[in-house]
Amino acid sequence: MLAPKAFLDALSDQASRLFSSDTSQPRSELESQFKALLQSGFSKLELVSREEFDSQMVVLARTRARLEALEAKVLELEARMTPPVETASEQ
């Protein structure tokens, strides 16, 4: 994976070549080529979509809640297993 600066420089160079060509390509063709160029660049960054991020946040929240419930249960079980401490006055 390229460093962010190197990636942006490479992307800029490719975009410059695309738009500085002497061919008189229609605007829609230039836009589609530039979009393909951007998509290719973004795929190299290993980004996730907003939908995937949001769904993982839901999973994380559910997992965190379950972990907290299990921690509370473990504390409760440990408290039941530990015999009460006798004080000197009880002996």
Question: Position of tokens 């230039």?
Answer: 30
Looking at per-residue pLDDT, the higher value among 18 and 82 belongs to 82
- Residue extents of the structural domains in the chain: 1-47, 48-81
**pLDDT score of 11 more than 60:** yes
Q: Tens digits of per-residue pLDDT, 14-42?
A: 777 766 666 566 767 777 777 887 777 77
Question: Position of tokens 């002497």?
Answer: 22
**pLDDT score of 77 more than 90:** yes
Q: Tens digits of per-residue pLDDT, 42-64?
A: 777 777 889 999 999 999 999 99
Q: How far is CA 15 from CA 11, 31, 62, in A?
A: 6, 11, 43
